[in-house]
Amino acid sequence: MRAVRFSRFGGPEVLEIVELPDPHPGAGEIRIRVRAAGVNAGDWKKRQGLMDQELPQTLGHEAAGLVDEIGEGVSGVTVGDRVFGASPYGAAQAELAVLSYWAPIPDSLDYVRSAAIPAAAETAARSLDQLGVTAGSTVLVNGASGSVGRAVVQLAVERGARVIGTGGPGTHDALRSLGAEPVAYGVGMPERVRAIASSGVDFALDVAGSGVLPELVELVGAPEHVITVADFRGAQRTGVRFSRGDTGRATYAPAQVARMAATGRFSLQVGQTFPLAEVAQAHRIGEAGTVRGKLVLLVD
């Protein structure tokens, strides 16, 4: 099969499309013929050598496609089903991918929009679980307009929480449409939050990594009520928990989001798509931050 791989760390030019052996699902897994695969910031951090150090490496943790092989012990899915989900092997940007958790693609979604969901939805659900956000909670989402932030907002609203989301002025209408109360980020953000939440904020979730963890701790009153998925060093300095994907995965998230999407209660913005062979260009655009919304690779 064709797959994205790099054999040295560096810029987007180190990415290659190579031929690799076809993977096969183990117990509790399925294999799909990939039609679309999501691109995330973690992909270029891995490529730069900022995460895993082994070489060579493949890329991709989320994909959508058609089931073509089923592992032992799997039920409720058949060959030919349209599904989206997550691969534990970091090799979903390929013609074939093994998924460890998945959900059927609702009729309201295509492969591209489905492939944009798994990583953001799992990160959002896991972080909300770790914070303990429930009905009646007030949660502040720093960086609410990005893919993960939008997922957090929608899943928190689904739980019955009050959501306050930071974003630039141009994102405020979109945040309101998702059920959040927008506030502008930057200097004076804590005061703006207090002005609309006079009874206080219970929890804060940082998905932007913009250096505001001290302000978030001040707003909620204790570092244990704040989680970041984007600021590892800031978490170390402030005592805030850094939420990683290797512990406590919210494997139920794709199925929950599929149900919400089927009734119009969940959506993520797709910014641009690229053929698999143009993965290097997807990295360049993603790193430049010039496109709002998720970047997705198309696999023939």
Phi, psi dihedrals of residue 101, rounded to the nearest 5°: -145, 150
Q: Judging by DSSP bridges, how do beta strands 162-167 and 181-184 pair with one another? A: parallel
- Among 194, 225, 242, which residue terminates a domain? 242
Name the E strands within 127-266.
Answer: 138-142, 162-167, 181-184, 203-206, 226-228, 241-242
| 170 and 74 fall within a common domain | no
CATH of the domain at 52: 3.90.180.10
CATH of the domain at 169: 3.40.50.720
| 83 and 32 fall within a common domain | yes
| 100 and 85 fall within a common domain | yes
| 56 and 97 fall within a common domain | yes
Residue 237 buriedness (CB in 10 A; 0-12 / 13-18 / 19+): exposed
| 169 and 206 fall within a common domain | yes
In terms of phi and psi (left: phi > 0; alpha: psi -120 to 50; beta: otherwise), the region of 287 is alpha
Please check whether residue 255 lies inside any domain of the structure.
no
Please check whether residue 254 lies inside any domain of the structure.
no
Please check whether residue 250 lies inside any domain of the structure.
no
Please check whether residue 248 lies inside any domain of the structure.
no
Element (H, E) at 119: helix 118-131
* pLDDT at position 252: 94
CA angle, residues 27, 89, 117, in degrees to nearest 5: 100
| 84 and 133 fall within a common domain | no
* pLDDT at position 99: 97
Task: Report the candidate in 166, 124, 152, 130 with the shortest Cα–Cα distance to residue 241.
Answer: 130
Domain that includes residue 141, residue range: 121-242
Dist. CA 117–CA 41, nearest whole Å: 14
* pLDDT at position 244: 81
* pLDDT at position 246: 67
Cα–Cα separations (whole angstroms), residue 89 to 97, 163, 174: 9, 34, 34
* pLDDT at position 247: 65
Element (H, E) at 6: strand 2-6
* pLDDT at position 84: 97
**What is the tally of structural domains in the chain?**
2
| 20 and 80 fall within a common domain | yes
Please check whether residue 285 lies inside any domain of the structure.
yes
Tens of pLDDT along 48-96? 998 889 999 999 999 999 999 999 999 999 999 999 999 999 999 999 9
| 137 and 233 fall within a common domain | yes
* pLDDT at position 39: 97
Biggest alpha carbon–alpha carbon distance for the chain? 58
Please check whether residue 74 lies inside any domain of the structure.
yes
CB of 178 closer than 8 Å to CB of 157: yes
The low-confidence residues of the chain, meaning pLDDT below 50, are none
Please check whether residue 33 lies inside any domain of the structure.
yes
Element (H, E) at 153: helix 147-158
Task: Report the candidate in 173, 242, 180 with the shortest Cα–Cα distance to residue 206.
Answer: 242
Please check whether residue 252 lies inside any domain of the structure.
no
| 135 and 75 fall within a common domain | no
